[in-house]
Amino acid sequence: MASIRQNVELSRLPDFRNLGVMLRILLAVNLFALLAALARSPDLARMAEEFVGQAAVLEPALIFSLLLAYLAGPRLARLPYFHGAALMSLIAVAGVLVIYSFFAPLLGADTTLPALARQALWTLLAVAALLYYFHLRSRAISPALAEARLMALTARIRPHFLFNSLNAVLGVIRSDPQRAERALEELSDLFRVLMADNRELVRLSDEIALCRQYLDLERLRLGDRLEVKWQVEACPPDALVPPLMLQPLLENAVYHGIEPGEGPGRLAITIARNRDEVLIRLENPYHGGGNHHPGNRMALDNIRERLMLFYDLEARLGTGVVQGTYRVDIRIPYRRK
């Protein structure tokens, strides 16, 4: 199941398909090797030599083991923690031994049984240390803490928006009761999502539907000043995204891009899939600096932090101004149920 829990729950193997996890393993193992080389060498020059010699076998073995872990990852994750960990250790040992027995003769290293046993032992130690590290790390961003952080991050909506919307509903309630009804229904849908338990990923199509409702509410207040252009034909509706990932960004775009402008301002939302990534682009008119509200940065930091909690290093959020248009670009891995 794709959810925040994979990053935070206790006693769960790390996601070996996660770029952040892979990078951490690569770094940690190389650091081990460096330390081992340091321990075995009398001086720095010899250490470099030792490290390079070692690397010739270490790097292919490491990459091969990572590849095995990548392939086995989802299956391992389904096993109970200790079974998974044991199996992972076996896989790593097997991977290292295969590579070692292939490369060692080429390098003139010995392939006797004691030598192989030593390699296996080193591998086991490294795997154990790494799993312990990931275990500690997941405790550090402990579920309680991460979930509390996540709840606090998602629960925010601008009071500005709420009171302005209520005011707008009151403004049309006598002249157009049906429009007022629709607005209140939209508002309650929006709040239902805002107050829900937002820890699980949701379908992108649901998030888009919510955003459409939100923008309809804003149109009640802003009328013709708000133009919206959706380009989502190439969007995979089954993709999973963090809940309320888009809506706050649209709220931001309305607040900073549409409200300060007099004439019609266009908000463009483009979503497309590029192989195993989902690309999202939001654009709104840019009205320059001179704004005393620090709200914009806060909303962006908020989304960025939530993307980090859900995807670690695999998601990107960038912003920029291009020819009078403010742009937010997000890329997240394409995940499905």
Partner 1 sequence: MMTAAPMKIFLVDDEKPARERLKAVLADIAGQLPNQVVGEAANGMEALEGIPAAGPDVVLVDIRMPRMDGVELVRHLGRMERPPAVVFVTAYDQYAVQAFELNAVDYLLKPVRAERLAGALGKARRSGPLAAAVLDRLPQEGRRHLSCTERGRILLIPVEHILYLKAELKYVTARTAEREYLLEESLTQLESEFPRRFVRVHRNCLIAREAIAGFERDSSSEGETHWLALVKGAAEKLPISRRQWPAVKAAFAGERGD
CB contact at 8 A, 202 and 243: yes
CB contact at 8 A, 107 and 56: yes
According to the binding rule CB under 8 A, does residue 112 interact with partner 1?
A: no
Per CB under 8 A, the list member of 159, 188, 275, 324 interacting with partner 1 is: 159
Which residue in 67, 64, 91 sits closest to 79, CA to CA? Answer: 91
- Between 20 and 260, name the residue whose CB sits nearer to partner 1: 260
Question: Which 248-267 positions form the footprint of partner 1 (CB under 8 A)?
Answer: 259-262
| Backbone dihedral angles phi then psi of residue 278, each to the nearest 5 degrees | -110, 130
- Between 11 and 167, name the residue whose CB sits nearer to partner 1: 167
CB contact at 8 A, 226 and 265: yes
Per CB under 8 A, the list member of 52, 170, 195, 196 interacting with partner 1 is: 170
- Between 147 and 218, name the residue whose CB sits nearer to partner 1: 218
According to the binding rule CB under 8 A, does residue 174 interact with partner 1?
A: yes
According to the binding rule CB under 8 A, does residue 177 interact with partner 1?
A: no
What is the smallest separation between the CB atom of 265 and partner 1, expressed in angstroms? 9
Long-range contacts of 184-192 (CB under 8 A, 24+ apart): 186/213, 186/214, 186/216, 186/217, 187/217, 189/213, 190/214, 190/217, 190/247
- Between 220 and 228, name the residue whose CB sits nearer to partner 1: 220
- Rounded Cα distance between 63 and 130, Å, is 15
Q: Tell me the per-residue interface mask from 279 to 308 with partner 1, x by CB under 8 A, - otherwise.
A: -----------xxxx---------------
Per CB under 8 A, the list member of 105, 171, 264, 318 interacting with partner 1 is: 171
Which residue in 289, 270, 287 sits closest to 325, CA to CA? Answer: 287
Chain-centroid distance, C-alpha 155:
19
Tell me whether residue 80 is exposed, middle or buried, using C-beta atoms within 10 angstroms of its C-beta: 0 to 12, 13 to 18, 19 or more. Answer: exposed
What is the smallest separation between the CB atom of 259 and partner 1, expressed in angstroms? 7
Which residue in 125, 138, 98 sits closest to 36, CA to CA? Answer: 125
- Rounded Cα distance between 285 and 292, Å, is 18
According to the binding rule CB under 8 A, does residue 160 interact with partner 1?
A: yes
According to the binding rule CB under 8 A, does residue 163 interact with partner 1?
A: yes
What is the smallest separation between the CB atom of 262 and partner 1, expressed in angstroms? 4
Map residue 217 onto helix, strand or coil: helix
According to the binding rule CB under 8 A, does residue 42 interact with partner 1?
A: no
What is the smallest separation between the CB atom of 225 and partner 1, expressed in angstroms? 8
CB contact at 8 A, 88 and 25: no
Window contacting partner 1 (CB under 8 A); options: 108-116, 169-177, 188-196, 236-244? 169-177
According to the binding rule CB under 8 A, does residue 143 interact with partner 1?
A: no
According to the binding rule CB under 8 A, does residue 20 interact with partner 1?
A: no
What is the smallest separation between the CB atom of 162 and partner 1, expressed in angstroms? 8
**Which residues contact partner 1 (rule: CB under 8 A)?**
158-160, 162-164, 166-172, 174-175, 220-223, 259-262, 290-293
